[in-house]
């Protein structure tokens, strides 16, 4: 009985990791093609005088799309990345 429980827990963890990897790679490849990510937990747009930044936070990752005069780029990385400042 204990072996079946351990096997079930391991199987659930593997299924969760597989689903998480599918979500991350799906959003990553969509972002590379200049499309919006599908699996955003929170979305935010910061407006500035010279443009805006779009921030999408997923499960463990973050995407920031800069559309400003000083910076036009897209970043994808861990949820700890910070928004770049223009000076």
Q: Which helix (H) or strand (E) segment is 36 a member of? A: none
Cα dihedral 69/59/21/26 (nearest 10)? -40
Rounded to the nearest 5 degrees, what angle is found at the Cα of 37, between the Cα atoms of 32 and 39?
140
For 19, the token pair is 């689903």
CB 85 within 8 A of CB 42: no
Q: 3-state DSSP call for residue 19?
A: helix
Is 1's pLDDT higher than 80? no
Once rounded to an integer, what is the mean pLDDT over residues 48-60? 91
The pLDDT assigned to 83 comes to 87
From the centroid of its chain, how far is CA 20?
A: 11
- Does the pTM surpass 0.85? The reply is no
Query: Alpha-carbon distance 40 to 35, whole Å?
Result: 13
pLDDT tens profile 4-49: 888 999 999 999 999 999 999 999 999 999 898 999 999 999 998 9
The pLDDT assigned to 24 comes to 93
């Amino acid at each position: 009985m204990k072996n079946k429980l351990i096997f079930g827990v391991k199987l659930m963890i593997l299924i969760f990791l597989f689903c998480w990897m599918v979500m991350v790679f799906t959003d990553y490849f969509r972002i590379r093609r200049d499309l919006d990510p599908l699996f955003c937990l929170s979305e935010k747009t910061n407006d500035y005088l010279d443009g805006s930044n779009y921030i999408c936070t997923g499960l463990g990752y973050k995407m920031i799309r800069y559309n400003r005069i000083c910076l036009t780029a897209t970043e994808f990385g861990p949820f700890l990345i910070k928004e770049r400042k223009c000076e």
